[in-house]
Amino acid sequence: MPTVGEVLRRYGPEYLERFGGSMPAEHRKVLRTLMACRTGELGTVCYQCSSCGASHVMGRSCGNRHCPTCQQDKTKAWLENQISRLLPCPYFLLTFTLPAKLRPLVRAHQQACYAALFEASSGAIRKLTADPKYVGTKTPGFVGVLHTWGRMLDYNPHVHYVVPGGGLSEDGQAWLPSRADFFVPVKALSKIYQAKFRHALDRAGLLDHVDPAIWSQDWVVHSQAVGDGRASLEYLAPYVFRVAISDRRIVSSDNDHVTFSYRKSGTRHWRKTTLDAMEFIRRFLQHVLPTRFMKVRHYGFLSPNACQSIEAVRWLVSIHYDLVFLLLAVSKEAPRPPRVECAKCGGTMRVVAFTPPCRGPPASVGF
């Protein structure tokens, strides 16, 4: 079966010829970078097998964060790191969506609107968790992941948060728990989120572009108890290091059409759909993120700038729940790069030489 990269290489030149003049510059850069990935256009790498001595020459990877091929190895490392930081308490998955009528505005002003989405949703969580009726903490901790696509590659921006059920006391010396099956009321969360998003759009100068009727309708926010949080992290991990669709979902690419599989909402059954190749590329590119925009964000005691380490917080949670807990040192060793195997014998290969790109590399290229 073809890969996303192969589809882009096959139909991307025509797409650039037809629409390149009206495309955002970021989209052009990403498309050209993904088209060049592992083709030799970005240079080549020569490997030698440490077992059989065979030599292999491969095209260099693009390293772009939107490339399904380059990013798949990072998913496992991210997931393992997040699981190692889980606390022994109940977890919740909170999801903040936007009304469908707002999506054209968000798509046209992604940098400002994605920032507003994070600001409004995280601010709403912090406001309600500070209420003593629910948690009573000014220092909750949660991880947010921006997700912009649906199963059919349609545009549907929303944010998922994995949230431990509780937070730190004001002096940072005690754990304040939420209920095991209830975090905060979603109706109140929705109203606060809507008000904060409106305020953020006003500051960005975009409020006049919004139909006033949007502010009188209910905004959808979900809150679900998810046990120890592991399953939610496993669900979100693939969204962190890829965009829109993975290689395994591409079924065929021929006759100017692309067929891919998708799972219908609410079922476990996989189906197939076919799109015109130009439409497939358009849908893929609408999920390209603004340059340097952070799609994963950590808040409160899970922030990189938090005063207390995650080990200290875990200890406070364990004391609260009267758990027998052994405080272990967490290794800070960086993840090792993926092992490159010899196609002949399966042995480990090592880099012995490389050649530079045959021309100036596209933006966001790395190895």
State pLDDT tens for residues 287-339.
999 988 999 999 999 998 888 899 999 999 998 887 644 444 444 454 555 66
Residue 121: pLDDT over 90: yes
Can you point out the beta strands (E) in the chain? Answer: 44-49, 55-59, 91-97, 139-149, 155-164, 166-168, 175-177, 221-225, 250-254, 257-263, 270-276, 296-300, 349-355
pLDDT tens digit sequence for 204-213: 999 999 999 9
Summarised one tens digit per residue, pLDDT across range 136-152 is: 999 999 999 999 998 88
What is the predicted pLDDT for the residue at 361?
45
- Assess whether pLDDT exceeds 90 at residue 251: yes
Please name which of 334, 316, 327, 318 lies closest in space to residue 81, comparing C-alpha atoms.
Answer: 334
Greater confidence (242 vs 124) lies with: 124
Say whether 257 sits in a helix, a strand or coil. Answer: strand
The mean pLDDT value for 356-365 works out to 54
Q: Which of 2-11, 84-93, 354-363 has the lowest mean pLDDT?
A: 354-363
- pTM for this structure? 0.85
Q: Could you report the per-residue pLDDT of 40-99, keeping only the tens digit for each?
A: 888 888 888 888 888 888 888 888 888 887 776 678 888 889 999 999 999 999 999 999
Distance of CA 77 to the CA centre of its chain: 14
Quote the mean pLDDT of the chain.
Answer: 88
